[in-house]
Amino acid sequence: MLTYFKELSLNRTAWILLAIIALLLESTGLYFQYVMGLQPCVMCVYERLAISGLLLSGIIGAISPRLKLTRYFAILLWGYSAIKGLLLAIRHTDYQLNPSPWNQCEFKPDFPQTMPFDQWFPQIFAPGPVNCSQSQWEMLGWGMPQWLILAFGCFTLSFVLVLISQFKKSRPQYRSVFR
């Protein structure tokens, strides 16, 4: 099984698939915002940034998956984005399931001064006037943060499998003239 995941990480198609899935998730968030009229909260903005990290890792991995440096950098960015997104989605779910005056998110995003994403890309990363404890959308009884826990959980699990598979020795490919 680890050999399969190692071969996947060496394949450009798998990295492109990661980027496409992240792009679809990002597009879904923008659809909810601009077509359905749902305003993102601060936690939604943070989760969008984590999805953007997954998109970027898919693009970096697709550039040169056989080059170890590029592949390892893409895997580490993938892992950081997936784990950070999972933790953010869990905290966002806690805000919605246990609303209280002392359990709330910030009013504006707390990005570093050197990377103010909400000012650089306000159409994507600027939150609306919505509290994180408000649930604006549900499907099958789950709100958006619960679905993101599922998505980021799948990304995290696949990251762990790919990371472990990188330590598996590849079998040398012998080519015989006489076969």
**Is 48 marked active-site?**
yes
- Which of 91, 132, 175, 179 is flagged as catalytic? 132
Residue 158 in 3-state DSSP?
helix
Q: Which of 36, 146, 51, 33 is nearest to 95 (CA)?
A: 146
Radius of gyration of the chain (CA): 19
- Which of 48, 91, 175, 179 is flagged as catalytic? 48
- Which of 66, 91, 105, 179 is flagged as catalytic? 105
The whole-angstrom separation of Cα 55 and Cα 141 is 28
**Is 12 marked active-site?**
no
**Is 66 marked active-site?**
no
The whole-angstrom separation of Cα 3 and Cα 69 is 19
Residue 113 in 3-state DSSP?
coil
The whole-angstrom separation of Cα 78 and Cα 87 is 14
**Is 154 marked active-site?**
no
The whole-angstrom separation of Cα 78 and Cα 41 is 24
Question: Phi, psi (5° rounding) for residue 118?
Answer: -65, -20
What single-letter amino acid sits at 42? V
Catalytic positions: 41, 44, 48, 105, 132
